[in-house]
Each structure stands twice: as C-alpha cells, then as structure tokens.
Structure 1
C-alpha cells in the first residue's frame, strides 16, 4: 500500500524567501549574485519576470530598464541576448528565468512573480514561464502574480504548477478590497496567497489559513515585521536592511 501523497506545497513554508535575492551592499536585486548569495545562505528565492521582445522570460522587476541599469526604455523592446548583455548596477547582466531555474535544481525553493502591466495580454509571458518550467529540473518552484488572470492561465494550461495570488489592501477602501479579493480568488483558484505584511492581521488571511492553505507575507524588513509574520503567516518573503 502506498503512503500518503506528499504535499506539493510543502516547500513554500520550508524556509524564508529572499525578496529579489539577497541583495543590498552593492549587490543588485534580481541578479545572479543576489540569487547565489541567497542559496549560499540557505534561503529560498523570490524573483520577478518580464517578457523580452523575442518571447523569453527574463528576471527583472520594472517595466523599464532605467532604474536598475545604465540603459533605458522598456524591457519588452529588447531581445533576450541583448538584455543579458545589459549590466545591472553590480555588473551582472539581466538573467533569463531558465538560468535561475538551473541554479535552483538543487531544491532551492523559488517563487516566480509574473509582472503584468495594465492592459497587456497575459498569455505570452505566462506561456514563456510555463515553457521554462517545463524544461527545468528545479523541483520546488511556484508561480504567483497580483493579476488573477495570470494564475487562471496556469490553472488551465499548466495545472501542475503551484500557483499563488499576491494581495494587498493598501490604498484601497475596505469594500473595494473585499470585492477584488473575492473575484481574484474565484478566478485564480490559488494554492497559496502572498499577503502584504502591512495588512496583517487580516481576516482574509486567517480564513485562508483555516482552510489549510499557506499564507506567505511580504516584504518583511524588521524585527516587528517578523513577529507579526510569525503570528499571522506561515512563511516570510524578506529583505535584509544593510544598504
């Protein structure tokens, strides 16, 4: 007789996640140096992905290159090879998601946040991420997004992917937040949520945990944040505060 089926979400709570890698002190966020530092420290990794002009999932947060590199203009207007050659502030290039997945083949937990700008078609980026995941041997990877339709895409087209909904109540009236969350949950059907630390404690997060589903929280930066997270969430997405 076979034993109980392992929980495919167990890696989500196994260790803290370094937000955009373990960056700071001259190490750029979402760069391979930051990701390698997180792996060396025994942490999981959270990253952001955007789509290159030629349809490759690239690890970068902003829609434009201006803030994190000496280049300018939209990420979406550059090819993958060109993006890899553009230096971040610490000198490393903009990584492909596939490169980071290779680094996580040892079992390092990875959260891939899919960045969708307002009005853009979600399918090309979701498909590029799904393709990278299908080609990877990394065993502990989840996708997540603020955009519920991105997670709905994965539910339909890559249902084996662990998927999460990123949520925040900041700058939203309570009634609007309640309606948005209810609709987002119905669309996304997430395996977990990633909740803004500023919103905790939250009846929404508490109800999600009562259903036996993991609640992660971002972005944890202080001892007070860690204490709040310990009481109201299952794992943290953190940044070290060292400049």
Structure 2
C-alpha cells in the first residue's frame, strides 16, 4: 500500500519503527497497548527475528499486548520475575506541551501506569492529532472503578465538577470490563488546570483503582506527521 493511499497507517508504522529502533539488546521492555504501539511490537519482533536484537524480554500492559508479543515472537516475563524495566513504549490519547498524558482509550491505563512509571525511560508514540495545548480538551479522563462503587464514585466525580459517563461496550451489550474485571467511567472536565492535582484527587475517591492522567513520567514523545504526503517522525 502506498503512503498516499493510507498516510495515517504509514505514519503510525514509521513512529512504531522509530520506537522499536531505540530498544537495545539485553533489556527489559514494557510493551504498551493500542494501534501505534502494536507496530512497535511488530518491529521489535522483526529485529529479534533478523538477529539485530538479542536477549530482550517484554512486560505486556494488556491482554492485547500479550497476544501481539506472542504473535511476533517476543519472550515475555512478569513484574514478579524482574526488578526493573529499562524502557517502556506506549501510546497516548492526548499529550500536552509538558509531556503530560491522558491514556485509557483502550481501558488498559491501570496496567500501563504500573509499567510506564517503573521504566527507566518511557517513550510515547503518537500521531500529531494527539497533541493538545491542555489536557482534557479533546479526550475524557478514563477512571477505572470497582463495580460495587460505580454510583458513589460517579456522585463524587460530579461534586468535583466532572461529567462522568459509564463506558459501554461496542459489539458487546453492557459496560466495558477491564483486564482487572472493573468498569471504566469517562469523565469530561471543562478545564484541567492542574493535571497532577486532579490525578491525586480522583485516585483518592474510594472505589477508584486508577485514572488515565499520567504526569511527570514521559521522557520522550515520538510524533508522526504527514508532510507533503510523506510520513515524518519528530521528537518532543
């Protein structure tokens, strides 16, 4: 398929390739979730197959990442078996100029947060459409909630000025259930002036497991753009 035919797909592939190229032999790699990260996993697998990369193990952040990693021949381990993560690669739904993120479009943000914060270097792969001046301007904040607490959590969020909505399944009747067996509430805020503060406040609501605001953890953002019909990758 030519770049002109599907520039967005080509751009995601190029960003994934750029991230995969940063993986070094003998390292432990956090493998994120989502369409752009899926290409990174594919290219890491290609590098292993060609012998360009040796002795790496992956820590998947979701069932999706696990399935893809197995498909592309990446050996996997668990957090119980290791004491550090050298590098994590993951996508994002929004990235602000301070490299703060909103994640959780794929409802994997809890496991992603555990892995991405542990990593010595955390690389975010996005297309330029994910860049925002302020967090929350396009994307709602996903909040993972244990099922019994859904009603009180939604009331508490409303008191904070948020507009919560239970995420419902597509091609599935009823709510989205995370890999941990919980539900996701997507919360719209008129403005998120202080992402770090909001992240803490949301996580302090009893029944909330984790939310999709990621602050002060991103080391590098690889941004894919299409310029004159050609995919370009730039860094932030």
Both structures adopt the same fold (TM-score exceeding 0.5): no
Higher RCO (CA 8 Å, separation ≥ 6 residues): 2
Range of TM-score over shorter length? under 0.3
Q: How does the TM-score come out when normalised to structure 1?
A: 0.27
Structure with bigger helix share is 1
Q: How does the TM-score come out when normalised to structure 2?
A: 0.28
